[in-house]
């Protein structure tokens, strides 16, 4: 976060997938750094059962009282609502790993049609304006019919980003993944390590790519590469033969969530 200048005070919610060390051991450091930096805003953490105990224990045995409040939400099931504001909703997605593990679905909410203020006639009531926002045509007080497209613009199709955490590739069809705009999926191994992937409940690059293809995902980001791969271009190559719009997760890089209308070409990044 320091290296990439992510501002601490912009972080209000943290989602932890599971309790393997490479996925959460930095959390306590972050919690104490927030404290030392004088944070007073509440912090919301969602994670699997046990994480609350780990945090409390570390605070207890270091006799620490934070300047801010932590609200912990235990993730216990698939499809659990973890966060919601007027723009997005975050829900859990159950993974298939060695210990309880959840991915996260970040879904934009459906917005309403937007009224073009300059074109709005004075002959419309408040109720008719609401109808315009719902995408309906309206008849004004003079009996004139206005097509919705004359007075309003339709909203963009809501986008969906899915962070699939550590997992054996899910064999069942997952409705929530269908048509998602951006999918992050682990690709710990390549094909020749198939047996190891199965034994450790991880996925290969091909499996992740075929999963994306099967669910008509628009773009795939692969990550969580085994340290045995000094050159991860092999991982990308293997995935790309099964799903062309694949990129690698590079630390510090920013990835746009593509719109539904966008074609399948990779974003230059
Ligand atoms: Zn793991």
In the chain, domain spans: 1-76, 77-111+157-269, 114-153
- Core vs surface per residue 163-194: b (16+ CB within 10 A) or e: bbbbbbbbeeebeebeebbbbbbbbbbbeebe
CA of 1 to the centre of ligand 1 (A): 22
CA of 201 to the centre of ligand 1 (A): 8
Task: Give per-10-residue mean pLDDT for the chain (269 aa).
Answer: 90 97 96 95 98 96 96 97 96 96 96 91 89 93 91 93 95 91 96 94 96 96 93 92 95 89 43
CA of 104 to the centre of ligand 1 (A): 15
* pLDDT at residue 265 in the model: 42
* pLDDT at residue 261 in the model: 56
* pLDDT at residue 141 in the model: 86
CA of 103 to the centre of ligand 1 (A): 12
The alpha carbons of the chain give a radius of gyration, in whole angstroms, of 23
The Cα–Cα gap between 14 and 33 comes to 15
The Cα–Cα gap between 99 and 166 comes to 10
> What's the CATH superfamily of 77-111+157-269?
Ribonuclease Z/Hydroxyacylglutathione hydrolase-like (3.60.15.10)
Q: CA dist 26 to 1, 45, 71, 111, 145, Å? A: 11, 14, 18, 36, 60
* pLDDT at residue 57 in the model: 97
- The model's pTM is 0.87
* pLDDT at residue 172 in the model: 83
Question: Which residues form the catalytic set?
Answer: 22
* pLDDT at residue 262 in the model: 44
* pLDDT at residue 267 in the model: 41
């Amino acid at each position: 976060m320091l290296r990439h200048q992510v501002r601490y005070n912009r972080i209000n919610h943290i989602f932890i997938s599971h309790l393997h060390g490479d996925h959460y051991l930095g959390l306590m450091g972050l919690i104490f750094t927030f404290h030392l930096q004088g944070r007073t805003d509440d912090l919301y953490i969602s994670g699997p059962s046990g994480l609350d105990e780990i945090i409390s224990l570390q605070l207890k045995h270091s006799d620490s009282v934070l300047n801010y409040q932590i609200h912990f939400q235990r993730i216990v099931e698939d499809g659990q609502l973890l966060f919601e504001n007027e723009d997005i909703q975050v829900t859990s997605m159950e993974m298939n790993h060695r210990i309880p593990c959840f991915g996260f679905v970040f879904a934009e909410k459906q917005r309403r049609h937007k009224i073009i203020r300059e074109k709005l006639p004075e002959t419309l009531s408040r109720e008719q304006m609401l109808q315009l926002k719902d995408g309906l045509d309206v008849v004004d007080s003079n009996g004139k019919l206005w097509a919705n497209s004359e007075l309003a613009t339709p909203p963009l199709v809501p986008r969906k980003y899915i962070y699939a955490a550590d997992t054996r590739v899910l064999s069942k069809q997952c409705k929530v993944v269908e048509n998602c705009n951006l999918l992050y999926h682990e690709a710990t191994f390549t094909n020749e390590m198939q047996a190891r992937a199965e034994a450790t409940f991880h996925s290969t690059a091909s499996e992740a790519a075929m999963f994306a293809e099967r669910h008509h995902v628009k773009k795939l980001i692969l990550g969580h590469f085994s340290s045995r791969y000094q050159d991860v271009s092999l991982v990308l190559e293997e995935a790309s033969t099964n799903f062309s719009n694949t990129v690698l997760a590079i630390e510090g890089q920013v990835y746009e969530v593509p719109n539904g209308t966008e074609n399948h070409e990779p974003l230059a990044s």
